[in-house]
């Protein structure tokens, strides 16, 4: 109930921001057009935003035969979290990262990058998956996907107002000045909303994810490796669609590694410190061989071809070409 109220307030606030952008670009007429666009965006955001996000990030669904290790892990951790098994997607990028999406736990998906599966071992991947499942369980995914959809739409609306002469509209209260203000301020306002949504939820998902996999140090180690590697590689899809950045476990935008007013993610060092403190309160957590690894071993031998729970593993192949484009997007 609390999450539903929070999502409703967020949608109302974003709709009001959308209408304000329309008003300062095209007056009353622009505001009504923006209201209509907001209504369509709300509908699409609820029913189809997850599919849009996955498509924009070039994520491809993988089958159990293509990724048996990953599927077995997601299945076990979903049982720990008490939620249905989500769909599993692979993002073809060298940058190690992951995100979850979906309007509810019954219609959810977890996407991990091929780079993540190469850089991390199974125990660390389990920590990342558990973090994403925590987002699904708390229904953060609906809030985050709607925010991403609105943020992109607000920026697009502001750009349209500039290119199609919104400043010449007689009903525009501030003329071209109002249009220019919206072009620059509307995306910043949307970014601030993303930051407000993402920062507190990341800390909560870290805590809940550590409890799901019962190994806070695994997630802490994963965050350290991801943060170190993400700055050296470019996630082309994320650079082209920066409104989606707040959905990832670590900011995927190259050159956006900061912890200031406009950062969509909390400082990685602070997150790691919080997880280390949590590990001291969980006697079953150890520096090696975490809770998930012991659970996997206690359920019997792994299917043939599985790697040991704490070792590196084979990156699943979905048959698609890996995105090796090293060029940055329009924001990189």
Residues with a known catalytic role: 132
- CA-based angle 85:89:91, to the nearest 5? 155
Please report how many Cα atoms fall inside a 13 Å half-sphere around the Cα of residue 216, on the Cβ side.
22
Name the DSSP class of 248. B
Among 61, 73, 154, which Cα is nearest to 101's? 61
Dist CA 158 CA 154 (whole Å): 6
Supply the angle between the helices 175-213 and 68-81 in degrees, to the nearest 10. 90
Q: Can you name the residues that pair with 168 across neighbouring β-strands?
A: none
- CA-based angle 209:193:243, to the nearest 5? 80
> Dihedral of the CA atoms 236, 141, 229, 322 (nearest 10)?
-40
Dist CA 239 CA 328 (whole Å): 6
The DSSP line for 88-137 is: EEEE-BSS--EEEEEEETTEEEEEEEHHHHHHS-HHHHHHHHHHHHHHHH
Dist CA 292 CA 123 (whole Å): 7
Q: How far is CA 3 from CA 6, 10, 134, 248, in A?
A: 5, 10, 14, 20
């Amino acid at each position: 109930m609390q999450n539903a109220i929070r999502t409703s307030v967020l949608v109302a606030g974003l709709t009001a921001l959308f209408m304000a952008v329309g008003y300062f670009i095209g007056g009353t007429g622009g505001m009504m057009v923006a209201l209509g666009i907001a209504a369509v965006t709300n509908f699409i955001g609820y029913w189809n935003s997850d599919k849009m996000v996955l498509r924009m990030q070039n994520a491809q669904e993988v089958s159990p035969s293509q990724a048996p290790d990953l599927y077995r892990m997601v299945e076990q951790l979903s049982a720990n979290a008490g939620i249905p098994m989500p769909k599993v997607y692979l993002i073809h990028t060298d940058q190690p990262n992951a995100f979850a999406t979906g309007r509810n736990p019954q219609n959810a998906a977890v996407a991990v990058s091929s780079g993540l599966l190469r850089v991390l071992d199974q125990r660390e991947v389990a920590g990342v998956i558990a973090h994403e499942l925590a987002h699904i369980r708390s229904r953060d995914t609906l809030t985050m996907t709607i925010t991403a959809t609105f943020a992109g739409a607000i920026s697009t609306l502001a750009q349209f107002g500039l290119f199609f002469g919104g400043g010449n509209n007689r009903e525009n209260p501030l003329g071209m000045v109002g249009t220019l203000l919206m072009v620059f301020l509307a995306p910043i306002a949307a970014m601030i909303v993303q930051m407000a949504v993402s920062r507190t939820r990341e800390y909560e998902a870290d805590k809940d994810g550590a409890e799901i996999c019962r190994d806070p140090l695994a997630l802490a180690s994963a965050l350290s490796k991801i943060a170190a590697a993400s700055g050296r590689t470019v996630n082309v899809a994320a650079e082209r669609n920066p409104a989606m950045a707040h959905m990832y476990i670590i900011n995927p935008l190259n050159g956006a590694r900061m912890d200031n007013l406009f950062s969509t993610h909390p400082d990685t060092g602070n997150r790691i410190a919080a997880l280390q403190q949590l590990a001291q309160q969980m006697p079953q957590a150890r520096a090696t061989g975490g809770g998930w690894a012991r659970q996997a071993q206690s359920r019997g031998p792994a299917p043939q071809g599985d790697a040991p729970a704490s070792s590196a593993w084979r990156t699943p192949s979905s048959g698609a070409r890996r995105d090796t484009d090293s060029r940055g997007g329009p924001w990189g």
